[in-house]
Structure 1
Amino acid sequence: MSAANPEAAARTPGALAPSPLPPLLGVVIVNYRGAADTIECLESLLRSPLPMKIVVVENGSGDDSADRLRAWAGGTLDAVPESSEMAAFSTPPVAKPVPLAELEDSSVSTGEPVAPLTLIVSETNRGFAGGNNLGLRHLLRDNQLKHFWLLNNDTVVAPDAAMGLLSRMMATPRVGMCGTVVRHYWTPDRIQALNGSSYHIFTGTSRSLGGGQPATIRYSPQDVADATDFVLGASLAVSRGFLGEVGLMQEDYFLYFEEIDWAVRNSKLGSHTYETAFAYGATVFHKAGRSIGSGSARFKRSAFADYWLARSRLRFTWRHYRWLWPLHWLICWAQILRRLVRRQGRNGRAIMSAAFGRSY
């Protein structure tokens, strides 16, 4: 891959450019065996004119991800968009080299002041919650940061998305969680979710708000915010106050249900519950389920995804709706039978392991 061309070299990364205003937004991107996706995401994010601080957590990939991210920052590895339609969001490259601070996971609480762009290298895979929490702990050390955006590494963001997100959060009294418009990377004229999803406690299933609808659909932003039971984790922002009272994500889920758990814990604050907002002026494009095989269609899910969905649903139900746990245990057996009918024996065995509390 070639280094940045002369035209790009004259450009300054907007999000990391010196600014008279302190950054108010921190961003966490967790990488797991997806350096190419992460680089494309970073290239799009750095085009934002909004000053911010960004942390990339290399989440125990066990491959060359960290080296590739260093090479990108040094200007010897470019983003390679997988869709020509999306290429305008991440090419040509921003100016290189991009200053990149680096920390080991053990140094997060005692490291140097928070740099504009930091790579945290974790020796182990901490899961979705653990990886994001590691980045949040580092960013929380900068008291000027008031809001924090958890962004999937397999996303590409519009140049004005960060500004739209921060503006909505700052305009919302006692804001806690906030999402964006999330559209499909491969079919950008279609919505994956408006803000997030509704959740059915009896079935353990969720419905993406606006999912599958054309991007031109008309909707009431307030109605979307009111209907949001939890914000989609691919593009999820939280406030410093929310983190202070509700806390970080529960790491024992490893994958799935972290967002709805966060939302339910917030609701238990009663009169002190933080508001869920919707940054309808911010758009993110998502490749969806790239690293773990969690496609939206059940018959396309990997056994790994089926295992963690079942395990986390049971754990979530036990934690918050214990009286419904027997029902959800029976639902696991119905899912096992469906997988067997589809000749997905490996998936069925994975769900059975989750039902009996066994490891994957």
Structure 2
Amino acid sequence: MERQLTAARCAVVLVHYNSAGDALACLRALHGLRARPACVIIADNASRPAEREALLTGWRALRRSGGCEPPAALRPGQTPPATDALFLALPENSGFAGGNNAALRLLLTAPAFDGIEAFWLLNTDTEPEPDALEALCERLNARPEAGLCGSSLCYAHAPDVAQAAGGCTLCPLTGRTTFLLGGSARSQLLTADPAAVEARMAYPVGASALVRRRVLRTVGLLPEDYFLYYEDAAFGIEARRAGFIPAWAPKSLVLHKEGGSTGARGGGMPHQKTARSRLMDYLAIRNRIYIIRRYYPCFLPAALASLAGVALNRLRRGQFKRLPLVLRAAWHGLRGRMGRPDSRDIA
């Protein structure tokens, strides 16, 4: 029989890229958790030296104020010490999945972390409330058949408005994703039936998801070919196909600033315009087509046809120069040209 999950058997994994201010706010929130995790590890995706140093300096000061040892800094391939704080400096920006995977490989293979049974993948632009990790553990304990669990995400700039009840739906016809209970009042998250929400969930939002060790052992790590966006959807599909259903912990409340590393702010809230960079636009469209090609190929014609609506939206916004980017992104997704885009892809 599987042991009950507790915070002390969980590790927190953060991926940082040029957002030291957000990351330090997240670390302060983690410092205030009522139940402490076994370890917090930050994988730095080759941030600018000033951002990296600001984060390390701030984290050291935060830990000193709590009477803790400073975080151990290391590079890939180095053996980590038995510690509850690690800073992993990566040589290049390997994307959201690549950064998470670098940290997960270390935690899964180092003997010092054999007792860790679940991994809390958490964005650096989030601020979890004090009971957030305990609530995730409690929900997975109540649902032993579930392999991964999402939090109740609310907007940091509008904390009474829900971004997502744990996860998203995924339409196989178009590749579009929709936040569950997105835009509803925060109070509604605490009164909704979690089982009903879980029945509709395709995958937990990657901004805050607790994943059991056995899921990673069975399914593997996060898919790195997406670079950014849709990797949590693809991982959720793989987990479900392996027999692991997703869960939602309503009382795991996490504030999300959304777009801390990409600069995308304000998206997702009703009646609020989405500020998308060309990089965001390219990745969202390319990866949307690619995920349908990979998992629902019979619906690929419908997914491609749905991009007419995307193009129309760009025209309505006066973004006429985005049309070649939409076509290029769709073509690359169709061809399977994935990974980190270069400047020509988003020109």
- Asked if TM exceeds 0.5, the reply is yes
Aligned to 2:278: 303
Which moves more between the two structures, 187-196 or 341-350? 341-350
Alignment of 1:34-45 (within 5 A): 34-45=19-30
Give the Å deviation of 1:239. 0.4
- Correspondent of 1:138 among 91, 106, 110: 106
Match of residue 127 from structure 2: 156
Residue of structure 2 equivalent to 1:314:
289
Q: 1:59 aligns with which of 21, 45, 49?
A: 45
* Closer, same or farther: CA 283–156 of 1 in aligned 2, 3 Å: same
Change (3 A) 1:186 1:22: closer
Equivalence map 1:318-337=2 (5 Å): 318-337=293-312
Distance across 2 between alignment mates of 1:355 and 1:220: 37
- What is the CA-CA distance between 1:349 and the residue it aligns to? 2.9
1:1-360 aligned within 5 A = 23-52=8-37, 53-75=39-61, 94-95=65-66, 98-104=69-75, 106-107=76-77, 110-141=78-109, 142-217=113-188, 218-269=191-242, 273-294=243-264, 295-296=267-268, 299-357=274-332, 359-360=345-346
Q: Is the 8 A contact 2:240 2:246 kept in 1?
A: no
Q: CA offsets per residue over residues 115-139 of structure 1, 9 Å max, x none?
A: 2011111121111111111111122
Q: Percent identity?
A: 31
Question: Do the aligned residues in 1 keep the contact of 2:132 with 2:252 (CA within 8 Å)?
Answer: yes
TM-score where L is the length of structure 1: 0.83
Report what 1:12 is aligned to: none
Q: CA separation in 2, counterparts of 1:38 and 1:293?
A: 14
Give distance in 2, aligned partners of 1:347 and 1:237: 36
Counterparts of 1:226 and 1:139, CA distance in 2:
31
Aligned AA for 1:42?
L
Shift of 1:327: 2.6
Q: Which moved more, 1:145-154 or 1:47-56?
A: 47-56
Calculate the aligned-residue CA RMSD, in Å.
Answer: 2.2
Question: Which amino acid in 1 is paired with 2:261?
Answer: S
Code of the residue aligned with 1:47 in structure 2: it is: G
Greater CA drift, 314-323 or 291-300: 291-300
**Which stretches of structure 1, 4 residues or more, deviate above 6 A after TM superposition?**
none
- Structure 2, unmatched stretches of 5+, are 1-5, 338-344
Task: Give the letter aligned to residue 54 of structure 1.
Answer: V
Separation of aligned partners in 1, 2:215 and 2:254: 23
The aligned length equals: 319
How far apart in 1 are the matches of 2:205 and 2:34?
Answer: 24
Shift of 1:332: 3.1
1:352, CA displacement in angstroms?
2.1
Gaps of 5+ in 1: 1-20, 80-92
Equivalent residue, structure 1, for 2:3: none
Show CA shifts across 1:49-71 (max 9, x none): 32321111111222422211221
Q: Which amino acid aligns with 2:288?
A: R
Structure 1 letter corresponding to 2:135: G
Q: Which residue of 2 aligns with 1:13?
A: none
Give SS of 1:283's match.
Answer: strand
Alpha-carbon offset, residue 23 of structure 1: 2.8
